[in-house]
Amino acid sequence: MLNGKKIVVVLPAYNAALTLEKTYREIPFDIVDDVILVDDASKDNTSELGRHLGIRHVIKHENNKGYGGNQKTCYNKAMEIGADIVIMLHPDYQYTPKLIHAMSSIIAFEVYPVVFGSRILGMGAIKGGMPLYKFVFNRMLTLFQNILMNQKLSEYHTGYRAFSTKVLESVDFGKCSDDFVFDNEITAQIFMKGFEIAEVTCPTKYFPEASSINFRRSSIYGLGVLRTSIIYRLHKWGIGSFKIFN
């Protein structure tokens, strides 16, 4: 609890057994009230380990729903148990839980309603070992998105995000993709509703156990990002009708 706000951390997991405990142990439970682990049909013992660690809310999908589908379950459950602030943290230990204090405070004290942990501010991505092609990909896509969406984020592709529940209730994230482009579609919905997004500098770690998508999946993701930015601009201009904004 922080400034009277219930803080819930959600962990969208897939084969995270090797890194889940390390991630969980660094969550600051002096302010975090609850944790939700959603296991997207992992082939390892992610769910069992989560229960062993004492996570009260462990949900396992019988069939793999995808990264976006996992987040939908996370956010719906967080709102169900009365969260005021929802922190989405990957359980692969790529992002440090030590930033939860800072990200939660920005929302709890009503400075901004959404906070992203940015790997680009402070060059955290390069220092943490992000492959060069992914860094270049990230920079090009972000430039394109900022132009079309009239924003100034340092990156749109971080997996470390904090939301006021009021924001999650205001957008219809159920209409977003079940795949990786979910993150960009919900971001577009947030901007479409007129909310602002703050960023904090976030170090990151790239290592064998951390989750990552290959070049082919990255390319598909990139095309989805471009599509999302274009339909955002068209919708702003009143051209066409698009499911995620209606």
Q: Report the CATH number of the 7-245 domain.
A: 3.90.550.10
- Please state whether 244 falls in left (phi above 0), alpha (psi between -120 and 50) or beta: alpha
pLDDT at 10: 98
pLDDT (tens digit, 9 = 90+) per residue, 28-64?
999 999 999 999 999 999 999 999 999 999 999 999 9
CA 196 to chain centre: 16
Distance CA 82, CA 78 (A): 7
pLDDT (tens digit, 9 = 90+) per residue, 101-122?
999 999 999 999 999 999 888 7
Distance CA 145, CA 167 (A): 21
Distance CA 62, CA 81 (A): 22
Point out the residues of the chain with pLDDT beneath 50. Answer: none
pLDDT at 218: 78
DSSP helix/strand/coil, 5 = strand
pLDDT at 21: 97
Domains of the chain, by residue range, sit at 7-245
State the pTM of this model. Answer: 0.93
